[in-house]
Amino acid sequence: MKMYGKFLFKSYTALKVEFGFPESVQYPVLPVRLDESSIFYPLNGISYCTGHELLLAISLNCRIKVLGGVFIPFKNSGYSKLGTVRKLGRHTIDKLLKDTGEGQLEVKNLPDPLFLKLEAKYSQTSFLRRDIMLETIDTKTIPKKSEVSNRKHGSQFFKTTRKLVEERLKYPKGSYMNQLYKFISNAGIGQMARGLNQKKVFDTETCKTKVIPPGELISPIYAGWITSYIRCTLSEILNNQNSDKKIFSCTTDGFISSEEGLEQRIPLESELFAYSYYKARESLTGKGELLERKHFDVKGLISWRTRGQLGLSGGIKAMTGYQQSESMEELIPKIISYFNSPSKSLPFIQTSLRSAKEIYLGGGHTTLKLNER
C-alpha cells in the first residue's frame, strides 16, 4: 500500500487475496464465488477482486494477504515506473512470457508489479490475449503531465456519454426518446463485456445456437473497472449508512432502506467512491447527484428475496414473473398466505409472447402464450 496504494484507483488491477474483516463490518465488500452463478460476501475467505475492492476493504480495517495478481496503471496516473516499460518492445515482452507448466503464464524481468501471475482460467481464453495486454501497457504515447491537466474531461468516453445524457434529458422521463437514449448509453458497457460469458443465441443463418462473438469494443479490463467501481460505490454507501437503520434488499445499482432523505445526501471527500461518483455526475449533468429516490412507502414492506419486495402501500413492487394486476387489498393477503402455506407456493398464469426463434422456425404470428407458474 505504501508503494502502490494511491495508484490502485487509477489502474486496472485484478488480485487474488486472502482476507478477514472485523466482526463489526455489516457489509463485507470482497466477493467469493460459490459457482459460476453464485457470489456471496463473507467476513473472511479467499477472493478474486479489483484494486477498487481492495482499497474499500482496507478502509474497513480488513486484513489482506495478496496471493497474486496483475497491476496495470492508467497512462495518466503518474506511476513513475511506467517510463521503464517504454524501453521494452512488443517482441521483447512476448519473449518474457513463458508457460510455467502449471496452467499459468508468468512474466519474468518486467518492472514489478506490472505482471505477477495470471490464473489459467483467464490467461487461456481468447478474451485476454497477449496483444490486448501488451497494447494496454504500451506507453510510447504516454502524455506529459501538462497535457493531462489541459485536457480535463477530454476523453472520448466522457464526450460520448455526456452527449447521450444531454440528449436524454431533453425528453420527459419514461418517454420513448428518453428510454432510447438510456438504452444506447447502457449499451456501451454491454459491448465492452460482450462475449465474455460465452452466452449462446439463435443464429438465423445456420438455424443453430452459437456463442455471441466479441465485438470491436470488447475490453475485459474496462468492463471490470467500471463494474467494480459501481459495486464499490454502492458498498461504501451501505457501510456508511446509519447503523440503527435497516437495509432490506440490495441490487446492482440500488437498495431499499429505512433511512429517509438519502437522496439529498452529499458525500464527504473522504468517501473515495461516493464522492468521485458524485463529482462525475456533476460533470456530466451539471448537478451533483449521488442517489435518486425511486419509491417511498409510508406503511411498510414485505421482503422475501432480492427480487421479491412488496410495499404495503403499493409504491414498491418487485415480484419477478408475477404480472397480475390485482389491488393491494387482494395481493397482500395472498402473499402472506403464501408464506404460511406448507408448500410456500403461489400458483399463477404467466403471459408472454412467442419468441423470435419460435416464429422463425415454426412460422405464424406474434401471439400470446400462457404458462402455469
pLDDT tens column, 140-175? 333 343 433 344 556 788 888 889 999 998 999 889
What is the total count of domains within the chain?
2
Residue 160 within any structural domain of the chain: no
How many angstroms separate the CA atoms of 290 and 267, rounded?
8
Rounded to whole angstroms, the Cα distance separating 102 from 284 reads: 47
Amino acid at position 120, single letter: A
**Is residue 201, in this structure, part of any structural domain at all?**
no
Indicate whether 19 belongs to any domain.
yes
Instruction: Return the pLDDT at 353.
Output: 92
Backbone angles phi, psi at 181, to 5 degrees: -70, -30
Mean pLDDT per 10-residue interval, the chain, length 373 residues: 81 91 94 86 94 94 91 72 41 45 40 35 36 37 38 70 91 94 87 83 85 82 88 92 84 86 88 92 86 88 87 85 82 89 87 88 90 89
Return d(Cα 367, Cα 373) in angstroms, integer: 19
pLDDT tens figures, 291-333: 988 888 888 899 888 888 999 988 888 887 787 788 888 889 9
In a domain, 69, yes or no: yes
Q: pLDDT for 187-212, tens place per residue?
A: 887 888 888 878 888 888 888 888 88
Among residues 302, 340, 348, which one has the least CA distance to residue 321?
348
Assigned domain for 94 exists: yes
Residue 204 lies in a domain: no
The domain in which residue 306 lies consists of 301-346
Answer whether residue 230 is part of any domain: no
Cell of 46: 479467499
Three cell numbers at 264?
439529498
Q: What are phi and psi of 29, to 5 degrees?
A: -115, 0
Contact 168/183 with Cβ under 8 angstroms? no
